[in-house]
Amino acid sequence: MLKTFKLGGVHPPENKLSADSEIVELPLSPTVFIPVGQHIGAPATAVVKKGDQVKTGQLIARSSGFVSANVHSSVSGTVTKVDLVPDSGGYPRVGVVIKVEGDDWDDQIDTSPDLKSEISLTGPEIIEKIKEAGIVGMGGATFPTHVKLVPPRGMKFEMLLINGVECEPFLTSDNRLMIEKSDEIVVGTRLLMKAMGVDKAFIGIENNKPEAIRKMEKAVNGISGISVVPLKVKYPQGGEKQLIKAVTGREVSSGALPVSVGCLVSNVGSAFAVYEAVQKNKPLFERVVTVTGKSLRNPSNVKVRIGTPVSDLILFAGGVPEDTGKIISGGPMMGKALATSDVPVTKGTSGIVLIPEKQAARKPQLACIRCSRCTNACPMGLEPFLLMTLSENSLWERLEKEMVLDCIECGSCSFSCPASRPLLDYIRYAKAKVGQLVRSRKH
């Protein structure tokens, strides 16, 4: 029996259209727009100004707090402005706009394609490198990696879990990365292990990616302490708590961090970025993005410079199909609908999914028939139908008791409701309200 997590979970159609498309590099765009806040935490502070010449890989915004991350230029050229530009949600955000001229890389970066597997740095030095390179969780969470690597006082890591689950439908960038860069990912894993001071790591991969499992198993062969764990397909296995449960059987309790059970979870994309940062001196300024959709001409996995307009990415994959009704940044379960495709690719952009008009709009909401599908689907063991009703009635204290803050916003509840009830919309609202309540109590 393959391992998986126990509670809840759903099986949305996988639609991994681009699973077999090799990663291709996107030609440079004429201009890029690089937001200074691409991570959870304080936005970085821009250190370049209008008119500056920058090289590919040069620092353009410095981390501005404990939880923050550096931002580097993904291209070489001239800074044309440092100003507010609308981000994916339509909100104005500070970013650096660069007119691309050639592709002149910073000399510090080792551009040779050879694998460098020898580790010469100490743990703290590795963390410092990761911090300099501006690496964040690349599965979409975008939490700065160097912050995660230092456990809170009194706590200790026991093992590292590498998240190669990619449970979101449609997305295949992690799958391709594992197939094409398996050795690099393993070196990245070793670096993370050294930084954490642990000698055990597990790479969790769902068994709908047999080639990735094969390649990764080959890559870890002969390396002590790292093993590949094939997992049974079930959404949301890529959730931190679900992955820890599936691989180790341990349950992170309500409100606690993974370190409370000795674990740290890192995405395969981040592990690859760690390899490049530490071994090749290359900051995080490009990533693999899946561009896909049922009507798209060429669903692909594309290596893209951060700051490239999403519209260029779509154009590369065949252009926006006539019937498109929605463009999602991320996967269809947890991704964000874009107001326009004139927004930049950022460190957390795992995919761009184009949804046909017919499936874009929601179905009209009906009364709850208490079928318990939402309850059975919830991986946190919550009662979404009840949380929605309480939220509609503004019963925030009750919601706190019902542990609404445990919701990981995976969308399994809304996905499975036959009455098309917008459960997660109301639960998200309740989480914000209850969060406020909890914070106000602390003051």
Examine residue 412 and tell whether it contacts ligand SF4 (CB under 6 A): yes
With tokens 């981040």, the residue in question is 270
- Given the rule CB under 8 A, which residues bind another protein? 7, 12-13, 169, 241, 245, 251-254, 256, 311, 320, 324-328, 330, 332-341, 353, 355, 357, 359-363, 366-373, 375, 378-383, 401-403, 406, 409, 411-412, 414-420, 424-425, 428
Partner whose binding site includes residue 248, from ligand SF4, another protein, none (CB under 5 to 8 Å by kind): none
Does residue number 230 form part of the binding site for ligand SF4 (CB under 6 A)?
A: no
* 67/44 Cα distance (integer angstroms): 10
Helix 182-196 / helix 210-220 crossing angle, nearest 10 deg: 60
Q: Is 427 in the site for ligand SF4 (CB under 6 A)?
A: yes
The closest of 204, 168, 180 to 21, measured between CA atoms, is 180
- Whichever of 196 and 423 has its CB closer to ligand SF4, that residue is 423
Q: Which is nearer to ligand SF4, 185 or 378 (CB)?
A: 378
User: 407 contacts which partner out of another protein, ligand SF4, none, CB within 5 to 8 A by kind?
Assistant: ligand SF4
Cis peptide before 12 (omega within 30 of 0): no
**Contact region for ligand SF4 (CB under 6 A) — 73-81, 174-182, 272-280, 380-388?**
380-388
Q: Which residues of 374-397 are buried (b: 16+ CB within 10 A; e: fewer)?
A: bbebbbbebbbbbbbbbbeeebbe
Nearer to another protein, 203 or 430 (CB): 430
425 binds, among another protein, ligand SF4, none (CB under 5 to 8 A by kind): another protein
Question: 108 vs 372, which CB is nearer to ligand SF4?
Answer: 372
Whether 283 and 70 have beta carbons less than 8 Å apart is answered as yes
How many Cα atoms occupy the beta-carbon half-sphere of 126 within 13 Å?
25
Q: How far apart are CA 205 and CA 163, in angstroms?
A: 7
Cα 93 to Cα 157: distance, rounded to the nearest angstrom: 36
Residue 254 binds which of another protein, ligand SF4, none (CB < 5-8 A, kind-dependent) = another protein
**CA 134/CA 150 separation, integer angstroms:** 16
Return the closest-CA partner of residue 274 out of 377, 196, 165. 196
Tell whether residue 403 is a contact of ligand SF4 (CB under 6 A): no
- By beta-carbon proximity to another protein, the closer residue of 6 and 218 is 6
**Residue span 331-370 as binding mask against ligand SF4, x where in contact by CB under 6 A, dash where not:** -------------------------------------xxx
Q: Which is nearer to another protein, 47 or 339 (CB)?
A: 339
User: At closest approach, how far in Å is the CB of 421 from another protein?
Assistant: 10
Q: Which residues contact 114 (CB under 8 A, 6 or more apart)?
A: none
- Greatest Cα pair distance, the chain, in angstroms, is 64
Q: Among residues 377, 390, 399, 430, which is the contact residue for ligand SF4, using CB under 6 A?
A: 377
Q: Treating both helix axes as pointing N-terminal to C-terminal, what angle do 182-196 and 123-133 enclose, rounded to 10 degrees? A: 120
Strand, helix or coil at 141?
coil
Cα(311)–Cα(345) distance, integer angstroms: 10
Using DSSP's 3-state secondary structure scheme, residue 408 falls into: coil
Identify which of residues 70 and 242 has a Cβ nearer to another protein in the complex: 242
* Least distance CB 310 / ligand SF4 (angstroms): 26
Member of 244, 407, 430, 434 binding ligand SF4 (CB under 6 A): 407
390 makes contact, choosing from another protein, ligand SF4, none, with CB < 5 to 8 Å by partner type, with none
> Which CB atom, from 146 or from 421, has the smaller least distance to ligand SF4?
421
Q: Which residues bind ligand SF4 (CB under 6 A)?
A: 368-374, 377-380, 382, 384-385, 407-413, 416-419, 421, 423-424, 427
